[in-house]
């Protein structure tokens, strides 16, 4: 297997294994087995070579493995997350971020990790998105989670919050920045010159004129008015229970959901196996499959690499 000391010169894409006891190593090995994905590209995997070998990883001329250490086969128990696997996932992410900061890789695709297990080694850890924001000196509302599956694109106005916290965190400025991030990302990455954006309401039926909640009147409508004055094309606030009907959703280039499950439940039903999470607002590109560690099937050869393949494709094509 090619080692990091043999690393080639030129543009490279990083891949973090995530939790080594989850499905990350398996979906990476399966994804890289596709010749068309590797052709003309160079990859650096941040992970343990013995774990990758368990999944029959083959030596490729344009793929190297960089192991920051701290995890060995004695800790390798597919399907069983542990403090050791959480520490390893953090070590892989930290190494990739350092190489991003140093310009040694151009983008990174991150396999799933467990926030709970990483939190044992890094208290307060909330996820890849927030970790990357801190690493690159970005405030929480200056970056966003953009989910992509072909023409399906959606950004979250709030991210990893308890549901009862959402109304308090949904400020006009946070919502405006989410709309702006989405509009800019569509222009930059997907070459949509004048994006047509749909914005969800927060409450059932988008508040029913204030009968079911006033956030649409007090927060969302003023933000949409501001966006229109800035020539950002927006529609809303729209009831989420009808926006995601396919014949309606396809009329828009992308959508803004107010909170995690409002957006992710419908789009995962539409395109779970192809869905990719992109972090926008950073000076670098990060993509990830939009699923978790799947400890229940890890090590059984059942993991579907489709989402990881899409994450790697975007990480290479959008830089």
What is the CATH code for 1-138+282-319? 3.40.718.10
CA distance 186 to 204: 28
> Own/partner pairs for 227-230, CB < 8 Å, 24+ apart?
227/176, 227/179, 227/180
Task: State the burial class of residue 226 (Cβ atoms within 10 Å of its Cβ: 0-12, 13-18, 19+).
Answer: middle
**What pLDDT sits at residue 40?**
87
In the numeric block, which tokens belong to residue 278? Answer: 């992109």
Q: What is the pLDDT of residue 5?
A: 42
> Same fold for the domain at 1-138+282-319 and the one at 140-281?
yes
**Residue 77: exposed, middle, or buried by beta-carbon count in 10 A (0-12, 13-18, 19+)?**
middle
Side-chain-side CA neighbours of residue 243 (13 Å): 30
Q: In what order do the strands lie in the sheet with 196-200?
A: 63-66, 43-46, 13-16, 107-110, 285-289, 276-280, 144-149, 152-156, 254-257, 196-200, 233-238
Spatial separation of the C-alpha atoms in residues 199 and 202, rounded to whole Å: 10
DSSP of 268-283: HHHHGGG-EEEEESSS
pLDDT tens per residue across span 226-274: 999 999 999 999 999 999 999 999 999 999 999 999 999 999 999 999 9
Which residues of the chain register pLDDT less than 50?
A: 1-10
pLDDT in the model for residue 121:
87
- Between CA 311 and CA 63 the distance in angstroms is 16
Give per-residue pLDDT as tens, 129-148. Answer: 999 999 999 999 999 999 99
Helix (H, G, I), strand (E, B) or coil at 298: coil
CA–CA distance from 108 to each of 101, 132, 236 (Å)? 12, 11, 34
Contact 28, 17 (CB under 8 A): yes
Instruction: Give the DSSP H or E segment for 234.
Output: strand 233-238
Kindly list the distances between the CA atom of residue 220 and the CA atoms of 107, 130, 160, 201, in Å, as whole numbers in the listed order. 33, 24, 20, 7
Integer angstrom CA distances of residue 217 from 206, 211, 224, 249: 9, 11, 11, 23
pLDDT confidence of residue 100 = 97
Can you give the C-alpha Rg of the chain in angstroms? 20
**pLDDT value for 11:** 66
Sorted by where each begins, the domain ranges of the chain are: 1-138+282-319, 140-281
Q: What's the CATH number of domain 140-281, 1.10.10.60, 2.102.10.10, 3.40.718.10, 3.40.50.2300?
A: 3.40.718.10
């Amino acid at each position: 297997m090619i080692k990091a000391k043999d690393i080639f010169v030129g543009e490279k894409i990083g891949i973090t294994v995530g939790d080594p006891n989850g499905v990350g190593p398996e979906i990476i090995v399966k994804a890289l087995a596709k010749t068309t994905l590797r052709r003309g590209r160079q990859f650096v995997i941040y992970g343990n070579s013995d774990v990758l070998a368990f999944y029959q990883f083959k030596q490729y001329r344009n793929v190297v493995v960089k192991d920051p250490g701290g995890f060995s086969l004695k800790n390798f128990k597919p399907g069983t997350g542990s403090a050791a696997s959480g520490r390893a996932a953090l070590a892989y992410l930290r190494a990739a971020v350092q190489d991003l900061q140093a310009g040694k890789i151009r983008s990174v695709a991150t396999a799933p990790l467990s926030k709970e297990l990483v939190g044992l080694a890094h208290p307060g850890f909330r996820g890849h998105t927030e970790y990357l924001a801190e690493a690159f000196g970005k405030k929480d509302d200056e970056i966003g989670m953009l989910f992509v599956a072909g023409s399906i694109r959606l950004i979250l106005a709030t991210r990893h919050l308890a549901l009862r916290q959402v109304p308090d965190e949904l400020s006009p400025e946070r919502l405006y920045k989410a709309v702006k991030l989405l509009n800019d990302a569509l222009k930059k990455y997907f070459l949509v010159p004048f994006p047509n954006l749909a914005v969800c309401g927060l409450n059932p039926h988008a508040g029913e004129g204030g009968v079911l909640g006033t956030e649409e009147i007090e927060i969302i409508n003023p933000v949409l008015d501001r966006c229109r004055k800035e020539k950002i094309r927006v529609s809303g606030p729209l009831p989420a229970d009808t926006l995601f009907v396919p014949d309606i959703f396809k009329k828009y280039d992308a959508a803004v959901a107010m909170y995690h499950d409002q957006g992710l439940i419908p789009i995962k039903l539409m395109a779970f196996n192809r869905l990719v999470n992109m972090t926008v607002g950073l000076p670098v590109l990060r993509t990830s499959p939009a699923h978790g560690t799947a400890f229940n099937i890890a090590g059984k050869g059942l993991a579907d690499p489709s989402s990881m393949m899409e994450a790697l494709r975007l990480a290479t094509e959008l830089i």
